[in-house]
Structure 1
């Protein structure tokens, strides 16, 4: 007689239900609001350069200080999620960055705006690894990677919203940037919904000894599937499934985990360096090249739209090719696209190169977020994904500050050459990560 299924096995065997879709949508909306806030700063930088006469050094600090907060938020957010729960931390982060963004609309000078952007960064940084961990722990094993990529696709929705706000709100008047930031208070209200409606991680509840709550969550998902279909699934012949057992590991640097941790940190660092160096600065670079504020923001909106098919391709390929080859392919495409963008000499070529860079880079982000939670056992999963994200944010802090001197030394050719090199290094580091498609990641 076979042993009864564990709660995690019961979740893994389920088809996609309405509750899965609701979890994905609920987490995804929070993710999109996060992206909208990060994207808005690129447009506000360009607008304040015109309205406040900010220098490139001042705008660099405005961009980087948010990433200082994100680095700290990602590192401690993961630890807090392992201690207090995924849902709780997710809701609090929405509250923190929503309130701080709304307050930023009232900033009377650069110093106040910089302080508030740091607080915004704390909330943003903590939210991302927590949300991806929550979705990964509920997703059925056969489509676990695809669901996390689809979650990450909401980033494109948020960035597109930021581009539309930039194009139609920021440019509407001298105070348009204030109205744009005022919209950032929306996550505060959404955090209340998250706290009440999204389920807590079953793996977390079990670790804390809250077994009745864990059982109730699993039953609520099983109730979405007709009894005869569950019986058919349970009666089907079981196929041996690869399993990793790091249940005794207490550290992300433990024996057997340290190689993947080092590789994951390298990928996060390189991708952050190239992505934020490019996309935070693209509107300002276009203005510096002689494009009007309106035309620059319109170009950025078009480039941003290419993120959606990038995510769609990654979501499909990650369960067909696997995690590692999908991420490697999109990183190589990002490197080639960055070189193309750096040498583009006409408006048409800039748009084409920007769209390709957007397609490949955001597809790579989707694959990266899918890989992270699968590398660690549940007791240190939040810490593992949060620490990698926090280390990666160090690059996002550095790069906006390095853009002005790189432009001075070698123009966009040198700048985007550095981005291409970073993508290439990330592709090499990816080869050191294990392939986790279809594996059981918890006992």
Structure 2
């Protein structure tokens, strides 16, 4: 009698709902982190902030993400995906609403920091839970959809911010508090999401894991294929041992190099476009909306190539991202249309590989430390993002062209690091991608090179634990 396999199944309604609900958190993340870009100029004028203070407010959530990722990724591996999955969205609601009532910039800085902690937790859990439910051949495309929701949230934030600008004194309060609305909707949708069967199995809760799998795939579902992936322990230090240290360094570096220019540009996009002479006032926000649409299209474009090669996608993305930034640095007075085209080209190139921020950490680490690795990379990468967000107004005050040149340099550094460190994991089960061979490569990749890849439903030896 044939058995139903999680790795070999076709995406079901449950797969899509889990992906979309995880993507709902990404939507809120993108909205929260981008709406500040619309509100910040108004807030700066209202409180007469200098560039340093504005940078502190703008980067507070990113510093919070550093703490949230480092802590709650590990907590997620200890207590389960489902609990953190609901907690962080509930925190979004409370903290978003509280922003409306601040009376001093330091209060807003504290709230944005706490929101960052919740966002860091969500980044650690969203990709983890979506990848652990996703079938092998659909994992890449499903996670592309999930990560694209971040770009959609960012684009919607600019649309909402532009629509809410009425030159009123409290416009920025309404903008920042508006993120509570999508958070309420996502929290309601996330109720009822099942716990990951991989995590349940890793904690010895076999009956519960089997019940979840049978509910998804039918009475013939088997746990055999999950056993190798769930044999690892939950110990924070394991992501720094042996071949996993190289993987931890890789995901942290490439993620930071992607985010530094992205967050700097996204947070201060209206200001950057205005400095290029695109427009002043509300029209510069409309220009930001147009550019954000291309960011969404760029993120979706990853679905076309993600299964053809994760490493290839990452290298091409970094290489092509540097070109429009170099052009913006080289042109003294580019025409407004040229500015929009170059930023759109950057968005398509850079965002095409955003899905790898969720895919690589989920594929390169076993279940016991998957969320831990996701959280650690989230936290470390936000150092780069925070530096970009905090430093952008300082550099922009000196020279917009210099800011574009620095962004291009970061892209080149990301390309070089990826060329040296990035493995290829496309086409592998989570068990084979997360296990390592004697050369430190994904175990399944070695099998594919030898032409001896095993069927994903065949039980495998457990991952050897490092001491």
Give the 5 Å matches for 1:39-438: 39-171=34-166, 173-190=168-185, 192-193=187-188, 195-223=190-218, 247=232, 250=235, 251-288=238-275, 291-320=279-308, 322-344=309-331, 345-409=334-398, 411-431=399-419, 432-438=421-427
1:303 CA displacement:
0.2
Structure 1, gaps ≥5 residues long: 232-237
Task: Output the CA distance in 2 between the equivalents of 1:318 and 1:362.
Answer: 12
Per the TM alignment, residue 194 of structure 1 is displaced from its structure 2 partner at its CA by 5.0
Q: Choose 182-191 or 274-283, whichever is displaced more.
A: 182-191
Task: Decide whether the 8 Å contact of 1:170 with 1:179 is kept in 2.
Answer: no
| Structure 1 residue 335: Cα displacement | 1.2
Distance 1:245 1:201 in 2: 11
Q: CA RMSD in A?
A: 2.6
Change (3 A) 1:164 1:187: closer
2:36 is the alignment partner of 1:38: no
Question: For the Cα contact (< 8 Å) 2:86–2:191, is it kept in 1?
Answer: no
**Alignment coverage as a number of residue pairs:** 423
Q: TM-score, normalised by structure 1?
A: 0.89
C-alpha contact (below 8 Å) 1:90/1:194 kept by paired residues:
no
Offset of 1:244 from its aligned partner?
Answer: 8.8
Deviation at 1:90, TM superposition (A): 1.6
Q: CA–CA distance in 2 between the matches of 1:192 and 1:313?
A: 28
Tell me which moved more, 263-272 or 185-194: 185-194
2-side partners of 1:191 and 1:111: how far apart? 29
Assess, with a 3 A threshold, how the Cα gap between structure 1 residues 244 and 123 changes in structure 2: closer, same or farther.
Answer: closer
Find the aligned partners of 1:419 and 1:45 in 2 and give their Cα distance.
21
Q: Measure, in 2, the Cα distance between the counterparts of 1:260 and 1:249.
A: 17
Distance 1:260 1:162, change over 3 A: same
| 1:173-217 Cα distance to aligned partner (Å, 9 max, x none) | 332221112211125534643552212111111122222221111
Shift of 1:299: 0.6
> 1:246, 1:259 → 2: CA distance?
21
Q: What CA distance in whole angstroms lies between the structure 1 residues aligned with 2:95 and 2:262?
A: 24
Q: How many Å apart are 1:439 and its aligned residue?
A: 1.4
Structure 1 residue 288 displacement after superposition: 4.8
Q: How many angstroms apart in 2 are the aligned matches of 1:401 and 1:348?
A: 28
Structure 2 counterpart of 1:235: none
8 A Cα contact 2:233 2:368, kept in partner: no
C-alpha displacement at 1:248, in angstroms?
7.0
Aligned-partner Cα distance in 2 for 1:113–1:103: 9
Task: Tell me how far 1:45 sits from its aligned partner.
Answer: 1.0
CA contact (8 A) 2:247 2:364 kept: yes
Judging by fraction of residues, say which structure has more helix: 1
Q: Quick one: distance in 2 between partners of 1:162 and 1:343?
A: 30
Q: Give the distance between the partners of 2:113 and 2:234, measured in 1 at CA.
A: 34
TM-score (normalised: structure 2): 0.85
Equivalent position of 1:234 in the other structure: none
